[in-house]
Structure 1
Amino acid sequence: MSDSAYRVETTSRLAQWRIDNLASCTYRKSDPFKIGMWNWHLILEKDRGLFIRLYPELTNLSREKPPIVSLILRVVSSSGDRKALTHSEIKDKLIKPSEDYVWAIEVPLTGKFIIDVEFLDLKTASPKDEPCSIWDDDIMQKTSNAAALQSLGRMLAEHIHTDIMINASDGSIQGHRAVLAARSPVFSSMFSYNLKEKELSAIDIPDMSVEDCQAFLNYLYGIIKHEEFLTHRQVLLHAADKYDVSDLKEACHQSLLRDIDSKNVLERLQNASLYELPELKMSCMKYLVKFGKLYDIRDDFKEFVQYADRDLIAEIFNEIITSWKGF
């Protein structure tokens, strides 16, 4: 049998395997063919029935990032009319090298035919990442962004060409003027005018610990982890407001909205008033008044009234009065 009997012809998303003579064998495995990032094989088996198998070749890539496949698999007559004899469609199926896709052919096949595999989409799957189409228009952008963030993280962690010292309440961290200035108009002003920060190449942040400052810098450099963000979000909100980092302020705002409870609602309400976060303030008011949780924390509320902003207290009582009128 000639080598052409095992060869699969491909374009970027289409693979075709021409079968000229099946009667003489019960098993045939194609040569590897490349679609996307993976090498693939097709297998044709004839036992009591006829089966087509598709699987990615065993490599480190297919083992660590097995493909998630959407495709149409057809058996097509190789005569002039190229008539589809039968077909199967799958969507978002994870195919591991050890778990091939099996298609049982239910119609008898005679003569010459073509196995036609049209890959509609290919996604990568790994334990660390969300599935992502390798053909997305923004795959290049995502790859570029990830590489840039990784480089920024290395600059900060390994002190690559640092040129500014951030002095916290209990220690110091090295950073980069350009990054800080690009992320914060307040820092940009410090370095643009003849202020002491420009002259001394240092920034004093006495109201934040080194750990808090590290979390703040990790956010500015785009490398903060979710747990770190949750741990420091209260102080990050303060830093975002102080240094005018609007995206961080909004990220803190949205995060604080998600887990309001009786233990934190008064603190959230105070922060909402202090940092002008109307949605957070409304949600806290609703939790306390409309849902009646104010009565569950009466002792804490009495203490809160002693130190909270007078205007805020007036708003709360006005909300209570309004709710009473609704009954």
Structure 2
Amino acid sequence: MANSASVNYNKASFSHHFKFNLSEIKDLQPEQFVSSPVFYALDNEWVIDCYPRGTRPEWSRGTSFLVRLHGEYKTVNTTISLSLMKRDGTTSALSHQYRLKGEEEKFSYAIQNSPFKGQVFAYGNYPKLLLAEDIVNNGSFELICTIDNTDIPHKRCSLGVPKSFDLQSQIGQLLESSDTADVTFCVENRSFVCHRLILAARSPVFKAMLFGNMVEATQQQIKIADMCPEVFEAMLHFVYTDSVPSCNSEKTSMKFTQHLFVASDRYAIEGLKALCEDSLCSHISLDTVTTTLAFALQHNFPCLKNACLDFIAEPGTLISWMLTDEYVDFGKSFPFIIAEIRGKINTALSFSNIKIQ
């Protein structure tokens, strides 16, 4: 049979998790069902019925769930909703919420050939649930029934945040001051004073470098090689402020963004990586796709590579790209990528009269 997984509740809300084992319900026919144990929520007793193949023969392709009373209903403004837990931890809603405002608004659903005729407060149907791979996990699936008391609002403390209390700007000011700094980075001819704890909190690479067994953990000055000062400065700005600095025309160029992308990947600063990748993807054109694709291949950035391939595979773009001056050199440097480009084309006819160098 089925078993209850967990129960969470407070004064205003009750959430009932109920797990169904497929091996125990897969052979049930339409109109046959299993029921959860009786559970208590908001001064009422409730039961969840699961019809693996529907409440009626004509609905046999869907799995139905009913939330019904087990006993006398006590008047309370109630909202009931149903959802299924997915493998990735998200939920999939099964039905609209049912709002009940006392005795006069009970939702009644008469189940054909069922001993439980009368008050049913929520009904959800999920087509082909027994075949849904994103729902079934280790031979079972989990239903979540949420019952809220709409008489009791969920209160939140809202005192307001004064402008002077701005964590982002206050931490950002530390970058502009040497106060409490405890490490200096030397990049070419420039020095940057920083705070070990902030760097470690933002980057697992910096954490290992500054607090692990690496030699840098004992050094007050650390030399950074293979990076220009402007790129390191922009990366630090993001580390301290969670934003990309306002840059001049040189820094806003794609070349600079590529360098910043490599730096963020080197130090595993995921937020900055995402911003750089999004910027490069948004600027893909016939003039830039070759250099951007070559950059993505050289540094193993698969998402950026796929964005370039998708652009090239657009109708009419492939031929135009192959006629550019950059294509010949690219084909010599990355001959293997041509096969992937072919795979992006929907029809073989697109290649029928194309001779790839």
TM-score by length of 2: 0.46
Contiguous gaps of at least 5 residues in structure 1:
1-135
1:254 and 2:278 matched: yes
Q: Secondary structure at the match of 2:313?
A: helix
The one-letter amino acid paired with 1:194 is N
**Residue in 1 aligned with 2:207?**
188
1:315 and 2:334 matched: no
**Residue in 2 aligned with 1:201?**
220
**Residue in 1 aligned with 2:245?**
225
The 1:170/1:316 distance shift into structure 2, 3 A limit, reads farther
1:306 and 2:332 matched: yes
Aligned counterparts of 1:312 and 1:202: Cα–Cα separation in 2: 43
Deviation at 1:190, TM superposition (A): 0.8
Deviation at 1:185, TM superposition (A): 0.2
Deviation at 1:165, TM superposition (A): 1.6
Aligned counterparts of 2:331 and 2:159: Cα–Cα separation in 1: 52
Deviation at 1:221, TM superposition (A): 0.8
The one-letter amino acid paired with 2:292 is R
The one-letter amino acid paired with 2:332 is Q
**Residue in 2 aligned with 1:171?**
190
**CA deviation digits over 1:92-117, x for unaligned, max 9?**
xxxxxxxxxxxxxxxxxxxxxxxxxx
The one-letter amino acid paired with 1:168 is V
Deviation at 1:277, TM superposition (A): 4.3
Query: Aligned ranges for residues 41-190 of structure 1 at < 5 Å?
Result: 140=161, 143=163, 147-190=166-209
1:237 and 2:261 matched: yes
**Residue in 2 aligned with 1:79?**
none
Q: Secondary structure at the match of 2:348?
A: helix
The 1:317/1:168 distance shift into structure 2, 3 A limit, reads farther
TM-score by length of 1: 0.50
Query: Which structure would you say has the larger Rg?
Result: 1
**Residue in 2 aligned with 1:131?**
none
Aligned counterparts of 1:139 and 1:296: Cα–Cα separation in 2: 56
Percent identity, aligned pairs only, is: 29
Aligned counterparts of 1:325 and 1:262: Cα–Cα separation in 2: 22
The 1:325/1:293 distance shift into structure 2, 3 A limit, reads closer
The 1:271/1:143 distance shift into structure 2, 3 A limit, reads farther
1:289 and 2:313 matched: yes
Q: Kindly indicate whether the alpha-carbon contact (under 8 Å) linking 1:269 and 1:284 is maintained by their aligned counterparts in 2.
A: yes
Equivalent residue in structure 2 for 1:280, among 304, 309, 312: 304
Q: Kindly indicate whether the alpha-carbon contact (under 8 Å) linking 2:202 and 2:239 is maintained by their aligned counterparts in 1.
A: yes
The 1:204/1:294 distance shift into structure 2, 3 A limit, reads farther
Q: Which moved more, 1:255-264 or 1:239-248?
A: 255-264
Q: Kindly indicate whether the alpha-carbon contact (under 8 Å) linking 1:173 and 1:210 is maintained by their aligned counterparts in 2.
A: no
Deviation at 1:306, TM superposition (A): 2.7
Q: Kindly indicate whether the alpha-carbon contact (under 8 Å) linking 1:273 and 1:312 is maintained by their aligned counterparts in 2.
A: no
The one-letter amino acid paired with 2:210 is F
**CA deviation digits over 1:69-122, x for unaligned, max 9?**
xxxxxxxxxxxxxxxxxxxxxxxxxxxxxxxxxxxxxxxxxxxxxxxxxxxxxx
The 1:195/1:290 distance shift into structure 2, 3 A limit, reads same
Aligned counterparts of 2:225 and 2:320: Cα–Cα separation in 1: 37
Aligned counterparts of 1:274 and 1:154: Cα–Cα separation in 2: 36
RMSD, aligned CA? 3.1
Aligned counterparts of 1:255 and 1:274: Cα–Cα separation in 2: 18
The 1:261/1:137 distance shift into structure 2, 3 A limit, reads farther
Aligned counterparts of 1:169 and 1:317: Cα–Cα separation in 2: 44
The 1:325/1:138 distance shift into structure 2, 3 A limit, reads farther
Aligned counterparts of 1:243 and 1:138: Cα–Cα separation in 2: 38
Contiguous gaps of at least 5 residues in structure 2:
1-156, 352-357
